[in-house]
Structure 1
Amino acid sequence: MRAALTAFCIWGLAPLYFRAIGTVPPFEIVAHRVLWSAILLAGLIALLPFTGGFARVRSVLVQPRLLGLLAFTALLTGSNWLVFIWAIDAGRLLEASLGYFINPLVSVALGALFLRERLRPLQAAAVAIACAGVGWRVWQLDSLPWIALFLAGTFGLYGLLRKRAPVEAASGLFIETLLVAPLALAWLVWVGQQGGLSFGSGARTDWLLPLTGVITAVPLMLFAVGARRLPLATVGFLQYLAPSLNFLVAVLVFREPLDATQLVGFALIWCALAVYSFDLLRAARRPAPRIQ
């Protein structure tokens, strides 16, 4: 429990860190996040026994189709990180938290569309209520909450593709970072040639930027440990901790405005999550059918 709880707390409080390096452009932050994550993950894979070591990594590197899939999932996570960091810098963390609130429901909908998973009645009701919440925002603000929809969509699609990829979590993430590391390095070199690189300027960013690897890799590894030991229903409840902390940080620390229109939209999403969580808990308590 503590491993998963720590992972979601790190994700929930990460905006405080990204605000602390707010002078660094989002593209440079993401590039550092990729490179430092690759270094840290290499060390964790080498040291932690449950990751399977580099033998699993080598087995993936000889499968071109799987490498292509991981290259695409790497682009999904990279774009997700970029928009999330940009939203924090732009003072739109509230909308970003909305995206992670609706992400479980997006995953359920994607499973029904692409994996032919049948929605239970309460799951279908939860998805409908969430759609009503998004629809309310569109109707009142006359614009799509694109940050929330992009974050939920990219992360939901990432989960769908990784579910179908026969690769262990730590090895898969390491390979994803390796595949995009050349792009990240090339970007940093180009920015450095233009004289706009923040890293190496002697400021506090020189020791804050390497922490992007810790914030990326450590919670993912902790989540992998916790998810293997906890019931699905418990993991389902814990995943709301991160966007809840994002929401509290946005309102109480960053002082982002929360008007009645936004509150109604959030209330509908929270209602949808309550229905979804109730269904998840009820399904977890249902006894398994006996095999005759």
Structure 2
Amino acid sequence: MRGWKAVACAGWLVLLGVFVGPVRAQAAATPVVELRETFPPGPEIRVPPNATVYLRIGYSAPAPVHIWARPYFHGRPAEAGSSPSLQYSGDGETLGFFFLFKPGQVDEVRVTAGDGRPGSTPEIARWPLVVAVEAGAPAPGAPPAWVASLRAQEHARADQLRAQAAQVPPSAGSIAWFSGFMLLMLGLAAAGIGWPLWALWRWRGGWRWLAAVPAAAVAFVLLRIVLDTARDPTSHNLWPFEVVMVAGASLLAMLSLALVRRLREARPQ
């Protein structure tokens, strides 16, 4: 009997470790943030619409993480623009900001951290901050030095992250996916352009005239791209997408025509 009790206790300990271990690991990896300063200075701020409120945010992040600070009013997100987030780790400071497009209010700032996905970007802090955005409010003056310093730091960090990303070679999976996507787009374009031409050669009567419609649309778009780029090489920087779009529409039209034609031919006379 004692043996069974020992086995049961061991099983419960294993289950407890399975469920509690990840929770403790997640808690240990959660960053700690603090609001060190604002501009205009708080705790009660009055600004006109589209004026930027800057947040000096200190953080301590055990693992690389993104941090977002967004304004709220009465528990709901304010209609505002807010700062994006780079990836942060270690101890440091970052610059947050937000601005309201029209008169309104803010009573707190909520901070989330994670990778941006809803299930893995929990809220980690709430900061009381009263902001009244009014049409007649005076414009804030020149921001203090810490705003320019943190902005320059953010730009340098963004350049560093872009350089690091450029040095990472693409994986075999991403190369295969991109190659397959491009082949699919080329096949779609070839089918959308070639099928109407084939129908003009093979079909007879009214069907040939109907096939001429998508053929003319494709010819018009291709001719316009050629003529426009001859005058201005930068006029159609996204011309492959234009070709794919018109070819896709042509392919759908030809599929519809072919289906109707097949049904009419199968109908007993």
TM-score (norm 2): 0.24
Decide which structure has greater helix share: 1
Query: Whose RCO is larger (CA < 8 A, sep 6+)?
Result: 1
Q: Point out the structure with the larger strand share.
A: 2
Under a length normalisation based on structure 1, what TM-score does the superposition of the two structures give?
0.22
